[in-house]
Amino acid sequence: MAAVMIVDPKELKKARNILGFTQIQAGIALGNVRPETVSRWERALENMRPNMRGHHVETTRQFTETASLLIDLYPENEDREIFLHTPLQEIGGKSPYDTIMQDPPYGLRDVVRLLGCMAEGIPS
């Protein structure tokens, strides 16, 4: 059985801030998780693992990976905002923000895939 990597609570909060999401928006993006749950995950102590279901582990990993790639590609907050809210042909003419929010949690997967291709210089 493969080891499961749990996202560090600090990294989850950092990713949410990079993306400019509230806990409500993050909850939607993570698959319609209640904002109270996002808050509890973010407050988990370093030596305690947040209590997450398996599919939430994967979506929080994608969430933090999206933020990490986004900050690598767009270090300036203004540029990240423009990217997140600009419709892109590669994701069906929707903005990355709309893709994430309208198709949780699969929109996160699509946006992280797009950012990964951009980071590697691969046409998407």
Does any domain span residue 3? no
Looking at residue 1, what is its pLDDT? Answer: 36
pLDDT tens column, 110-119: 999 999 999 9
Q: Which structure tokens are listed for 124?
A: 């998407």
14: Cβ contacts below 8 Å, ≥ 6 apart: 64, 67
- With a cut of 80, say whether residue 4 has pLDDT above it: no
Does any domain span residue 113? yes
pLDDT band at 3; cut points 50, 70, 90: very low
Looking at residue 55, what is its pLDDT? Answer: 75
pLDDT tens column, 55-105: 788 899 999 999 999 999 999 999 999 999 999 999 999 999 999 999 998
Q: Give ∠ CA 72-104-99 in degrees, rounded to 5.
A: 55
Does any domain span residue 93? yes
pTM to 2 decimal places: 0.85
Looking at residue 49, what is its pLDDT? Answer: 58
Does any domain span residue 1? no
Q: How many domains, the chain? A: 1
DSSP the chain: -PPP-PPPHHHHHHHHHHHT--HHHHHHHTTS--HHHHHHHHH--TTS-----HHHHHHHHHHHHHHHHHHHH--SHHHHHHHHHS-BGGGTTB-HHHHHHHSTTHHHHHHHHHHHHHHHT---
pLDDT tens column, 28-61: 999 999 999 999 889 886 555 555 666 788 899 9
87: Cβ contacts below 8 Å, ≥ 6 apart: 93, 94, 95, 98
| Domain that includes residue 85, residue range | 9-120
